[in-house]
Amino acid sequence: MEVTFSLDQIQEVAEQILAQNPNKILLFNGEMGAGKTTLIKQLCKSLGIEDATSSPTFSLVNEYQTNDNQTVYHFDFYRLNHETEALDMGVDDYLYSGNWCFIEWSEKIPSLIPNEHSVITIELLPDGKRLLKLV
């Protein structure tokens, strides 16, 4: 899937992503400010999460429950210095739980990512729109 969108179209884009049936381990790549967290917030909303969502930059992981009792984990590994920090927090338990795992800055834990995953890359375009690729 590849789509160019503006932020006012983010709800439609989130629904298109979910309609593609991506793997529940979903990696988000893009430079800082590209809109990774904004997209994750909308995906959470589209999955039925009513609670406020935010980036887990300091806590590393936030946990949310959907209306139909699914669990969604949102990771932000930007602040990690070593993969062992993720192991110390029990990242394996999360990644192999069968629940949704939205992961920002996954390049910080390359050897810990399960083989079965999907990748979303977001590129900020000069006109302010975003180019999103899902593989």
pLDDT tens for residues 83-96?
999 999 999 999 99
Residues of the chain above pLDDT 90, percent: 93
Q: What tens digit of pLDDT does each residue of 22-49 get?
A: 999 999 999 999 999 999 999 999 999 9
Q: What tens digit of pLDDT does each residue of 49-79 get?
A: 998 888 887 789 999 999 999 999 999 999 9
Q: Domain ranges for the chain, please list them.
A: 2-134
What per-residue confidence (pLDDT) applies to 75?
A: 97
DSSP string, 8-46: GGHHHHHHHHHHT---SEEEEE--TTSSHHHHHHHHHHH
pTM (two decimals): 0.95
What per-residue confidence (pLDDT) applies to 56?
A: 82
- CATH 3.40.50.300 at 2-134, yes or no: yes
Return the sign of the alpha-carbon dihedral for residues 35, 39, 42, 48: negative
Helical pair 36-46 and 10-19, crossing angle rounded to 10 deg = 70
Q: Which residue has the tokens 């406020």?
A: 52
